[in-house]
Structure 1
């Protein structure tokens, strides 16, 4: 049995306050408050405010540094070697402003609580107690432990024929509902998504009740629909009130993501309880010229321009997910015009080498979809592509703006 790691965070050790105000969400979209409230055994309930205070009292850059990880400042962020995989080139990026970290090598990400959980193999409550000095590693119960970071992750369950039937049925229902929902069509139109893209990408909309009724009529498993993340336990639809973008393989749906018509819903994007695939895989498979973008609506804009485009659906660009690019002779990177998008581009250009070309969006334009909403957006984009392709390979690394 491997020797147990001595905890680097000593119980009772005071933490220096960051002095920052409550500028970020307490949980950054996690469902931890519910989990904290359900714990028993005499533990006090943990509110959103309490958890946010723990984060403020434990600046993520300081906690990571206590684990022996050297962080070097680069602008407003810090970089270092990731402890969760063999990291020859520093790929761990820490963002003090948002109290978060992300590894461009293995995809590990989260806040200070996530880091402690992953590094020490703890559950959520035990990690909170570690940060507040409430317990030592020896007192953590077996139920609170998570798999050690050196253990290989379990293989995701592959989709059965019945699973694909359920997902494809859901996609068909949502597509039908969308065409009967003026508000959803108006939202898509406002983002430059017209009828051609709607039909080509099988876009849909969930009204919150049609899916479960249809699955019952077809005698498809409601239990499996719940397990895959289509339905809540009470039969309600998880995608209710959302534009639904499916990932199709042939004529079968294998995944989908939903986006609400306004920004009042949380989370902004809701996926399924299944491994997240590359969006648009069949559009780029085997192609020699490929466009890689970040977001779902960026992908839809590219489809409307007949690009061989795919979306990573975020900046999680682990190297093993890029095998589909092996045959591509030219890869155009079109990421969000922000710090994290530029970090992803730097990482990808390092992996792709001379094949990479960086398409720089105009100043003030957030992403590809926003560019597509401008009157001359399409013409501007193809001019930017032409400029990126004219650069010599050694110029690519200098094309990433260091704003």
Structure 2
């Protein structure tokens, strides 16, 4: 383990404002800075940096911590690797002790490099199998030798132990191979290669490291694709295939494809910003990653039903992204690869320049569902179209244009459609306002605390809030730890996360370590740490004095279980009790939702 004193010094030498400012555009607001969160999609900044406490917190997704945690989360690194990266930035010599986590990651990357070399060598071997694989890449996929080299494409022979022996000869241990995602152990205890008789595609991250593989059969047998499992270096939900190549392009218009083969074919045809998700549906993390490189994204999925569903889902994920999104629509081919082969690069380029916007795509899809020759069909189409046109991101001008088109398609007067659209917009505004009011009521220091009714429910909310405020007070002034510890009865702490946090704070004080997020990060689980970071963030602009601590201690000591407060009451009295609790807290029930 790296000594705690060394970790604290790394944090001291890496100002959080400077480090995060390299990744996030920050705007100063008094003593804090804010910006768009790099860990989830948003248009209104909810990510806050606190220079006073050298910490950050996102009120949108809950991401929190110190400068080490930011680097760790942003770059998908292990804790020790993040410490070492920041130490290098500060010019600090590394501690002499070796670290298992970093060493394991490095060994896995070395295994992957060796495996990629093995697959490439096997593709170029003088065997009938290799010749078949080369024909697949060159004739069936139409790839040049340059494309094969650029993507590091290869072949896994039909051999249960070829790669296994290759890696063993290079000094890798059996336990390392089993964790690589390339080798498995059978029920009988024998190790064997996972990828066999498949053309191989290395998956490379933005830093140029080979982190996983995808393997495809040479015929139509099943399963068609096999992908590496997740490992300490590979998280498919946060990886985009070919982004390491696409990011070098001068173009900021990226093409999001459905699979590896589409991407490789696109690059071969000269479209060097093609990327795809890795063995999974598109994720919010991938959308966020893509938005760091692209100004515009063209969705280029297959034309079948699955591809259309993927398009619709992806449009939803991009709804809150700053990236402009459009949809590629084509006929006469099942996928972009086939289209390019049939009609050529120039025609595909024309398609790209005429891509439909998301509204166009959704309206076209809605129209295909209904028979416009019938009254019911026309009415249902208009109803669904209006839902689309009153949604997020559609401008008033676009609504007017599409209302005219709807009128032509259905024979219904444009004014009638616009009138119905205005009613839908007013109803949507009312729902949005009620939701906003409800969220405002729920906001505040204790808004997100949830106490099970078996432990006191709403009646115990004050005590639960007091425990979290107590944690915030001790983070502000660790000198108060002995005072609190002598007076606090831990049995009054209802929230397990706060019990864990207070115990960790007490241990830090005992061991004469700083009481801050850096120390607590290594002592708490994710849920408890997030709650501690939230408590600190919510109190950043108010000084909690000893009189506040006394109030929290008194509130904890005097809290009574709800069972004592409602014992012997009738059903009506029980309901009235909870109504009074809500009234005391100033919580108003929102009015029932109506669209009228």
| TM-score, L = length of structure 1 | 0.55
- 1:243-258 maps to which residues of 2 (within 5 A)? 243-249=199-205, 250-258=207-215
Shift of 1:314: 5.3
1:313-354 CA-to-partner distances (Å, cap 9, x unmatched) read 456122232111224221111001111211121222234357
Alignment match, 1:359:
328
Alignment match, 2:165:
213
1:86-120 CA-to-partner distances (Å, cap 9, x unmatched) read xxxxxxxxxxxxxxxxxxxxxxxxxxxxxxxxxxx
CA–CA separation in structure 2 for the residues paired with 1:232 and 1:350:
38
Larger Rg: 2
> Are the aligned partners of 2:257 and 2:276 in contact in 1 as well (CA < 8 Å)?
yes
> Are the aligned partners of 1:196 and 1:304 in contact in 2 as well (CA < 8 Å)?
no
CA–CA separation in structure 1 for the residues paired with 2:363 and 2:179:
46
1:387 maps to 2:354? yes
Pick closer, same or farther for the CA change 1:342–1:394 going to 2, 3 Å.
closer
CA–CA separation in structure 2 for the residues paired with 1:196 and 1:167:
21
Shift of 1:381: 1.2
Alignment match, 1:160:
105
Shift of 1:267: 1.9
Match of 1:279 among 241, 248, 253: 241
Shift of 1:285: 4.1
Pick closer, same or farther for the CA change 1:230–1:197 going to 2, 3 Å.
same
Alignment match, 1:329:
295
Shift of 1:399: 5.9
1:344-382 CA-to-partner distances (Å, cap 9, x unmatched) read 21222234357111111223x1112222332x3322211
Pick closer, same or farther for the CA change 1:221–1:321 going to 2, 3 Å.
same
1:345 maps to 2:311? yes
- 1:287-298 maps to which residues of 2 (within 5 A)? 288-298=252-262
Pick closer, same or farther for the CA change 1:201–1:238 going to 2, 3 Å.
same
1:317 maps to 2:282? yes
Secondary structure at the counterpart of residue 273 of structure 1? coil
CA–CA separation in structure 2 for the residues paired with 1:240 and 1:182:
15
Q: Which runs of 5+ in 2 are unaligned?
A: 1-75, 79-100, 370-596
Alignment match, 2:379:
none
Pick closer, same or farther for the CA change 1:393–1:226 going to 2, 3 Å.
closer
1:196 maps to 2:151? no
> Are the aligned partners of 1:175 and 1:203 in contact in 2 as well (CA < 8 Å)?
yes
Shift of 1:184: 0.1
CA–CA separation in structure 2 for the residues paired with 1:224 and 1:393:
46
Matched length: 244
Shift of 1:199: 0.7
CA–CA separation in structure 2 for the residues paired with 1:362 and 1:346:
18
Secondary structure at the counterpart of residue 240 of structure 2? coil
Pick closer, same or farther for the CA change 1:173–1:220 going to 2, 3 Å.
same
> Are the aligned partners of 1:215 and 1:222 in contact in 2 as well (CA < 8 Å)?
no
Secondary structure at the counterpart of residue 263 of structure 1? coil
- 1:258-273 maps to which residues of 2 (within 5 A)? 258-264=215-221, 266-273=222-229
Secondary structure at the counterpart of residue 326 of structure 2? strand
- 1:38-53 maps to which residues of 2 (within 5 A)? none
- 1:17-32 maps to which residues of 2 (within 5 A)? none
Secondary structure at the counterpart of residue 256 of structure 2? strand
Higher-helix-fraction structure: 2
Shift of 1:260: 1.1
Pick closer, same or farther for the CA change 1:315–1:399 going to 2, 3 Å.
farther
> RMSD of the alignment, in Å?
2.7
CA–CA separation in structure 2 for the residues paired with 1:400 and 1:296:
26
Shift of 1:397: 4.0
Secondary structure at the counterpart of residue 270 of structure 1? strand
